[in-house]
Chains A and B, each alone.
Chain A
Amino acid sequence: QKEVEQNSGPLSVPEGAIASLNCTYSDRVSQSFFWYRQYSGKSPELIMSIYSNGDKEDGRFTAQLNKASQYVSLLIRDSQPSDSATYLCAVTTGGSYIPTFGRGTSLIVHP
């Protein structure tokens, strides 16, 4: 059974700090990795995708993938109160491309 694990949090960081969100997955043949942001009462919004080992940067967001250790992380630099949300990690394995979602990590950025 494919599993995607995330610490539910909440992770609380001060404004301007770096928020680090982590995700581990069980299926070694996983190929595609995604981070979604979900504000309370809203649907998820895709913020990052990563497919190969290493770092991928997009603005204040950096996704890091380590397939050998089976983890993917999301760094948010210069965190803002507007970043406060639940961050969902999703992983797909080749073939069906049906993603498995983690339960999400709640991030709170306090002024």
Chain B
Amino acid sequence: GAVVSQHPSWVICKSGTSVKIECRSLDFQATTMFWYRQFPKQSLMLMATSNEGSKATYEQGVEKDKFLINHASLTLSTLTVTSAHPEDSSFYICSARGLSEHEQYFGPGTRLTVT
């Protein structure tokens, strides 16, 4: 149990375009989902926390108008990187936590390359 999927697993896009990443909890209802970014050989950086049906809470320094998060159902959250630039190239990872769970489970990640 506790499987989280992400789609796509990798994406290459041109500078100035937008990219949407989907995160799904496959076998449980995720009341809370987290979005992280990780640059090579660096630690996880929490970008935002989203609860189903509520606006996401962004960490300091993360532009909410650039990284749009939607958590419309208990099994799906999306992250849209708008007007992507090469510096947005990174490994984006979502994780999900159920209502009665203390543990969070990570998706496999999406590697974004902006050219």
Contacts and interface: CB of A to CB of B under 8 A. Distances in A.
Contacts of A44: 44, 93, 106
Interface in A65-111: 88, 92, 96-99, 101-104
Contacts of A60: none
Contacts of A43: 91, 93, 106-109
B43 interface: yes
A69 B97 CA distance: 28
B102 A97 contact: yes
B103 interface: yes
Contacts of B108: 42-43
Contacts of A17: none
| Secondary structure type dominating chain A contacts | loop
A25 interface: no
A46 B43 contact: no
A46 B103 contact: yes
Interface residues of B, number: 17
A101 B44 contact: yes
A22 interface: no
Nearest to A94: B102
Contacts of A41: 91
A67 to B, nearest CB: 16
B13 interface: no
Interface string A41-59: 1111110010100000000
Interface in B33-70: 34, 43-44, 46, 49
For the complex of A and B, the 10 pairs showing the least CB-CB separation, nearest first, are A43-B109, A103-B43, A43-B106, A32-B102, A43-B93, A44-B106, A101-B44, A43-B108, A49-B103, A46-B103
Interface of B: 32, 34, 43-44, 46, 49, 91, 93, 97, 102-109
